[in-house]
Structure 1
Amino acid sequence: MSRTALVTGGSRGMGAAIALRLAQEGADVAITYVRGEEAAQEVVRKIEATGQRGIALRADAADADAPGRAVALAAERLGQLDVLVNNAGVGVLGPIESLSVGDVDQVISVNVRAVFLASQAAAARMERGGRIISVGSCMAQHVPGPGGTLYAMSKSALTGLTKALARELGARGITANLVHPGPIDTDMNPADGPYAEPQKAGTALGRFGRPEEVASLIAYLTSDEAAYVTGAELSVDGGHAA
């Protein structure tokens, strides 16, 4: 049986690129989405064009029951679960005094609680060789200006979670790692958008990254070659944190 993977938030941007790359590496892939069913189904069609199975599951990460349910459905429909990529996330930026309790609850529920719950559910199902990979942010390592307190806090929490997962699951041969993307050219943050130039200037390479560049690192972390890599924070940020 081929390896299987669940990529949360896999209907567009980095998530779609990650899902497709894992399929190209030989995995059957389930993705989750909240809105945009047609976009999710298009990703499934691309996955299936590689010869692998693709599944789209509607799951709102802000719902406390959704992460565990998505993991269970993916494992049931694919027959097992070998890889979890916690990619779904939200960003609420603004001066700290402008942020509401609702903003805090939304960001923490999606960026932290959902990652924990999905990882918890996946760990209960994974066999030796399993992989849990979470997508953080370059802002967890270097915040270039004001307005990022809530988002940076939420992504920084994944460092502690990842290191603790690595210790807890290591004896079972399951690895846990964290990938910090820098500015990546997606529809949510386009490389030609109104806020692009300062982001480019904040990198050592002076450009945005491509979703496929993030996907390539995640593909490596799912591979046998990365079996000795766990508890690590790895950046794909063009030198944003340099």
Structure 2
Amino acid sequence: MKEILKIKDVSKDYGIKGFKTNVLRNISLTVNEGDFVSIMGPSGAGKTTLLNLMSTLDKATSGEIILDGIDVSKVKNKELSKLRRDKIGFIFQDYNLLDNMTLMDNIALPLALGKKKSKEIEDRVIEIAKKFGLANHLNKYPYQLSGGQKQRGAAARSLITNPSVIFADEPTGALDSRSAYELLDSLDRINKENNATIIMITHDPITASYSNEVYMINDGNIKCKLNKGESRKEFYQKIMDMLSAMGGEL
């Protein structure tokens, strides 16, 4: 099984000598190709910091982060933008769609920046839009779309380049229940059908239950790892039980 992301003894400190804050302490985990992983924990536990380190948006104080065979600590700043473009997809809570572009153009943007041929771009956009239930909305602008449609559009854009890994930061945080389920069903389908590797930060047990593994993080440390098994309903209950054991606050 191919390793997509390997983190070994990663720590992150902020501040200067004598006034340092240890946000993460000796974090280690491995994500394989096709994994769907959630990271949960209370506010201030270090979830977003960990996501930023894994996705090369920030640098670790110590430890190793290997992304698809590349030691990101040794990649120069000029090469990081290419690494993100080729290897990483992002889904943010606030969509980040461009208002003056149609949904088709928003989804196509990463390929257009990569100077792909227009026919190839169009075919790829239509293909992925169908997987997210957006085929009939491609000529609309973001203001004409619901929150759920915009978030699924952002997810489609993150996948358009076939990245090695997709990082999702609270992707359902701004959505109503129905829109959240539609997005999660789409991500689940993409994970299973396209073998997409997804790492998701979430505070919501229902959202986390769509993944195959959940890491619980608190006080800068991984407290435990939960594996899904067969049933999403049983996995949800397992997550709830663990949250209760940890104090129940996210």
Query: Would the TM-score normalized by the shorter structure come out above 0.5?
Result: no
The structure with the largest strand share of the pair is: 2
Which interval holds the TM-score relative to the shorter structure?
0.3 to 0.5
Question: TM-score when scaled to structure 1?
Answer: 0.35
Q: Which has the higher contact order (CA 8 A, sep 6+)?
A: 2
The structure with the largest helix share of the pair is: 1
Question: TM-score when scaled to structure 2?
Answer: 0.35
Q: Which has the larger radius of gyration?
A: 2
